[in-house]
Structure 1
Amino acid sequence: MGCCATQKSKKTLSPESKLITLHIDPGTFVLTSEKRFQEVYILKSIVSASHYYEVRTAIHRETNEERSVKIFRKDLTPKIEYEKLKLEIAITKTIDHPNIIKFFEVFEEPTKVYISMEKCKGGELFEEILKRKHFSEQQVAKIMKEIFSSLAYIHEQGIVHRDLKPENILLEDKGDLINIKLINFSTATFIIQGEFLKGLIGTAYYIAPEVISNKYNEKCDIWSAGVVIFMLLSFYPPFDGNSDKEILQKVQHGSINYNNPIWSSISNQAKDLISKLLCPEDQRLSASQALSHPFIIENAHTSDLGQQNLVYAFQNLKNFRNSSKLRDAIQTFIATHCISAHDSKILKEVFKTIDTNGDGKLSKEELLTHYKNVMGDIHAEEEVNQIMNEVDTDNNGFINYTEFLKASISQKTLASSENLRRAFDMFDIDNSGSISAAELKKVLQGGNNTNDHVWKQIIKSFDQNGDGEIDLREFEEIITRSL
């Protein structure tokens, strides 16, 4: 009996079972495009410029969606800056968080490098500070919750930003303080837990004292966050001076300027949080601890989404089935590249509502609590277990942001001929009208050393006409036949 069972299981193993370690995430599809930038985008107005690069608005020709594009001129970019650019791309590709900027494509041409990314229409948080001249403590707490959530996420991934400041925080829409994006990972780096970084990097007003001493870790970002909350509440920096040297001297001495009368109207909770951020590194809160501070918990309430949005998301999560790696890849691409801005915003708010502790991922406990509230207690635990088994495709014990998106989007969006065509074109690198095993491997393999035979077998399992490739009709059926 046992032998027969073993033989049977071997026969039913699919080629995709050999891809069990293949990890599909948003970074899988931040590809260096083989096309020229102007074939894919229409360049519009300049947003900002520096010595090495400029940022412009661009229109994606196929979808008519607005994007931001960072353009580097190779002849003006020193080798060290070019290496930083490559590291920034590598770091940003690993990030999957609703409050951190998302890259779409990289175009490398003979004279320029283009990086297309999400477009945030609300401008910098710094501009909002100059314009408003006042934020309520509730508004400040909501902004800081998003910042701490971003930092908790990247710090857990072993990433340090090193230049957190209001200029590197964008509002998704004008006046929208609830939805922000952390940008500019050009000074970011990876760090190994227990080790320290060196190098005076950042902007003087926001630099932590240990950075000046040339021995620091991810807590330098928490100090910078302390400066940001100080400025949001008071509209002046805690450490000021006529030069960077003077500012850094004050930072080292820890001489915070609380002389402004505005501090008499600021709550003790807010002051307590600041005191636990602008303090020596060994006493400083982590980002996760800051999210649990009473100032954040009591003031940063999530927006009222309406019951129907939560029901809609949970119904889709419950119905999601992780049937194949190729289907998973197609769904991931559609969720990250094709979903409308309106749908994306609603699902992002649902995600943040369920993410009670703000760490940028959903635990089984968080899902179960909200599932019971929305869908009722009957079979709740069993159904949440099923959701975790199907949606947690990287098996890390949590539902990451993109895993949530691809499982929550509507079947109409998923099966849209327009979206499936875009996904097909992404795999069809040579524009031949069909996808070969080599193209499948190039898009999906990453660092996985999977034998070429496996990719051919995957093609074969979806290749209905036996020509050794997947055409558009066969590609569409990978999604539509399981809906």
Structure 2
Amino acid sequence: MGCTVSTKFKKPIENEQIVAKEVILAPGAFVNENENKFADIYRLGKLIGTGTYGEVRMCFHRESGAKRAVKIIRKDLMTNEGLRANLDKEISILRSLDHPNVVRIYEFFEEVKRLYIVMEFCKGGELFAEIVKRKYLTEIHAAHIMHQLFSTLDYLHGRGIMHRDLKPENILLEERHDVMNIKIIDFGAATIFNDKPINGIVGTMFYIAPDVFQGNYDFLCDMWSCGVILYILLAGYPPFDGKSDQEIISRIKSYEYSTSQEPWSNISQDAKDLLSKLLCHSKKRASSRQALAEPWIINLVKRELPSTEVMSEALNNLKNFRSTSILRDAVNTFITTQFISASDTKDLREVFRKMDKNGDGKLSREELLEEYTKIMEESEAQAEVDRIMREVDSDNNGFIDYSEFLKGSLDSSKVLSLENLKLAFQMFDQDGSGTISAGELKKVIAGKGLADNKIWNDIIIQVDQNGDGEIDMLEFQKIIMKNF
């Protein structure tokens, strides 16, 4: 497609380095309101579920064919201003998250009568349905679910976010009947917290911590919910039940639950010990980090290790990854987060989990170093890891987040395929004119930040081969594929 275009490019500009320092390329940077009509971009599929304010359906991206889920909300039912504020907060929180066990949000639409939130589709359905089908789970399967829950909460709590409505209905299975990979959904009750206690009763009755009912609680309310989920996974029924809400609340506040009836005689003491550290007073309750270190989790969670070939390829791709320009880095991030499927990243997810020693959902410099010192001298590994941190850590938070890891470890020939480049070009070409202007470049990459238009004009100049002041598809393709 670019065979008639000159392969000579101008010397990189210094302003590119300025932009690199100021632009934060987190995955959420590309989760924005789409100003087109939903029906022009997606084709609706079958109904997945219904709720108070709308429904969830399967949908298909018309251009790529990607299968997704869409939450459709009727605006006429959202009569309370607080409901809309909560929805906006949910979108904001989801945009900021990048963890393998948190459902991904892609974009959203607002029309006269409806709001559309497009998210990752998980064909396994709710964990609740799986529990009903099986009656209860084996300890090994339950431990894998809880490990993923604790890892997600360690990530969320580390970012100052509490979920406040954890339950099996808000946990999806990525694949049918496969509990090894879950996704946490529904952040409608989630909130940002600091050192001050929270008040206000939020959540679903069976899973609410006693401290929430008392009106003075913190992020450890999520750990209580984990205790209830663990109990249900192992027994098939809730630890605190009753004929009325008041009876249930009374039993929750008593902290008293039973492990004397079946099937508890067949359940290990380690599982019961963990349960006792979750379904207890908040002052004694385990944190997510402490729960990850429990013997029951450590002894039972033995994931299938990635093959030597997959591990080696991932480490080599990370080592060779170069963020040659802001534009290329933006395209890489966009494609990785928007159009690379879960099946394409299944092996790499296991590599990520193997490298993530403390289970916090991100890779530290020390965790990277541990892997690279296995394949090279320590001094060389130190230098290599420092370079990886500079090149791959797009949001400059000092860690390699999940999407950043995927961006750096995926085969570039798959990410930067012609089909994916066309999708990325359409994302930048906001007005559908067939070319990208400096204004569109700024809007997509920097949003309302970086008001200095000269920076973006200079980037256009470096890419613009025919001198028309904009980037066409051929020019776009050449600069992205430069040195590839």
TM-score band, normalised by the shorter chain? over 0.9
In 2: Cα distance, 1:414 partner to 1:478 partner: 15
Matched, 1:48 2:13: no
Asked whether the 8 Å contact 1:16–1:454 carries over to 2, the reply is no
Q: Is the 8 A contact 2:16 2:325 kept in 1?
A: no
Instruction: State the partner residue of 2:99.
Output: 97
Q: Which residue in the other structure is 1:85 paired with?
A: 87
Q: Which runs of 5+ in 1 are unaligned?
A: 1-10
Work out the CA distance in 2 between the residues paired with 1:138 and 1:370: 27
The aligned amino acid for 2:193 is I
Query: What's the TM-score once normalised by structure 2's chain length?
Result: 0.94
AA aligned to 2:179 is L
**CA deviations over 1:211-263 (Å, ceiling 9, x no partner):** 00111111110110011111111111111111222111111111212231322
Aligned to 2:214: 213
Inter-partner Cα distance in structure 2 for 1:380 and 1:18: 28
User: In structure 2, what is the equivalent of residue 124 of structure 1?
Assistant: 126
1:175 to 170, 174, 177: 177
Query: Is the Cα–Cα contact under 8 Å of residues 335 and 424 in structure 2 kept in the other structure?
Result: yes
Q: Does 1:342 align with 2:343?
A: yes
Instruction: State the one-letter code of the partner of 1:457.
Output: D
Distance of 2:127 and 2:377 partners within structure 1: 42
Give the match for residue 366 of structure 1: 367
Q: Structure 2, unaligned stretches of length 5 or more?
A: 1-11
CA deviation map 1:378-400 (0-9, x unaligned): 74343333222321233322111
The answer on whether the counterparts of 1:427 and 1:435 sit within 8 Å (CA) in structure 2 is yes
Q: Distance in 1 between matches of 2:189 and 2:66?
A: 29
Percentage identity across paired residues of the two chains? 48
SS at match of 2:57: strand
Q: How many residues align?
A: 471
1:377–1:234 CA distance, 2 compared to 1 (3 A) = farther
State which drifts further: 339-348 or 117-126: 339-348
Give 4+ residue runs of structure 1 displaced > 4 Å after superposition: none
**Which residue identity does 1:160 align to in structure 2?**
M
Tell me, in whole angstroms, the C-alpha distance in 1 between the residues paired with 2:17 and 2:457.
11
Larger mean CA deviation between 127-136 and 388-397 belongs to 388-397
Alignment-mate amino acid for residue 467 of structure 1: D
In 2: Cα distance, 1:21 partner to 1:223 partner? 40
- Quick one: which amino acid aligns to residue 438 of structure 1? G
Q: Supply the distance in 1 between the matched residues of 2:131 and 2:292 (Cα, whole angstroms).
A: 22
Change (3 A) 1:388 1:19: closer
- Is the contact between residue 107 and residue 118 of structure 2 (CA under 8 Å) also seen in structure 1? yes
Rounded to whole Å, the distance in 2 between the matches of 1:92 and 1:350 is 24
Give the aligned partner of residue 426 of structure 1.
427
Deviation at 1:121, TM superposition (A): 0.5
**1:321 aligned residue:** 322
Q: Deviation per CA, 1:155-177: give whole Å up to 9, x if none.
A: 11111100000000000001111
Distance 2:453 2:254 in 1: 61
Q: Do residues 232 (structure 1) and 233 (structure 2) align?
A: yes
Q: Deviations over 1:416-456 (max 9, x none)?
A: 11101101100111000111111112112235243222222
Deviations 1:78-127 (A, max 9, x none): 23222211111011000000100000110111111111110001111111
Q: Counterpart of 1:127 in structure 2: which amino acid?
A: A
Secondary structure of 1:383's aligned partner: helix
**In the TM superposition, what are the counterparts of 1:26-37 in structure 2 within 5 Å?**
26-37=27-38
Q: 1:152 Cα shift?
A: 0.6
Distance between the aligned counterparts of 2:25 and 2:395, measured in 1? 8
1:165 to 141, 162, 167: 167
Q: Do the aligned residues in 1 keep the contact of 2:16 with 2:326 (CA within 8 Å)?
A: no
Contact 1:437 1:455 in 2 (8 A): yes
Shift of 1:129: 0.7
Which range moves more in the overlay, 238-247 or 111-120? 238-247
Asked if the contact 1:16/1:458 (under 8 Å) is kept, the reply is no
- The 2-side partners of 1:372 and 1:138 are apart by 32
Q: Please tell me the residue identity of whatever aligns with 1:25.
A: A
- Match for residue 288 of structure 1? 289
- Is the Cα contact below 8 Å between 2:146 and 2:230 reproduced in 1? yes
Point out which structure has higher relative CO (alpha carbons under 8 A, 6+ apart): 2
- Aligned counterpart, 1:5: none
Task: Report the counterpart of residue 461 of structure 1 in structure 2.
Answer: 462
> Given residue 135 of structure 1, which amino acid in structure 2 is its aligned partner?
L
**Cα displacement (A) at 1:372:** 4.1
The equivalent residue for 1:246 is: 247
| Amino acid of the structure 2 residue aligned with 1:399 | I
Match of 1:109 in 2: 111
Cα distance between partner residues in 1 of 2:197 and 2:338 = 36
Aligned-residue offset at 1:20: 1.1
The question of whether the paired residues in 1 share the 8 Å contact of 2:327 and 2:480 is answered with no
**Matched position secondary structure for 1:45:** strand
Q: Distance in 2 between matches of 1:186 and 1:147?
A: 18
2:334 is the counterpart of 1:311: no
1:26, CA displacement in angstroms? Answer: 1.1
Cα deviation code 1:51-76 (max 9, x no counterpart): 20100011111222211100011112
Q: For residue 470 of structure 1, what is the amino acid of its counterpart? A: I
CA contact (8 A) 1:72 1:114 kept: yes
Are residues 306 and 200 of structure 1, via their aligned partners in 2, closer, same or farther at CA, if it must alter by over 3 Å?
A: same
Rounded Cα–Cα distance in structure 1 between residues aligned with 2:393 and 2:30: 19
Structure 2 partner of 1:190: 192
- Classify the secondary structure of the residue corresponding to 2:88: helix
1:203 aligns with 2:209: no
Assess, with a 3 A threshold, how the Cα gap between structure 1 residues 381 and 86 changes in structure 2: closer, same or farther.
same
- Residue 279 of structure 1 is matched in structure 2 by 280
The answer to which of 413-422 and 91-100 deviates more is 413-422
Pair 1:442-2:420 in alignment: no
Residue 6 of structure 1: aligned partner: none
In structure 2, what is the equivalent of residue 140 of structure 1? 142
Partner of 2:48: helix, strand, or coil? strand
Query: Counterparts of 2:168 and 2:67 in 1: how far apart (Å)?
Result: 23
8 Å CA contact 1:148–1:291 kept in 2: the answer is: yes
The one-letter code of the counterpart of 1:168 is N
The residue number in structure 2 matching 1:7 is: none
Partner of 1:475: 476
Using the TM superposition, give the Cα deviation of residue 184 of structure 1 relative to its aligned residue in structure 2, in angstroms. Answer: 0.3
Q: Does the Cα contact within 8 Å between 1:34 and 1:429 map onto a contact in 2?
A: no
Between stretches 364-373 and 297-306, larger displacement belongs to 364-373
Contact 2:24–2:396 (CA<8 Å) still a contact in 1? Answer: no
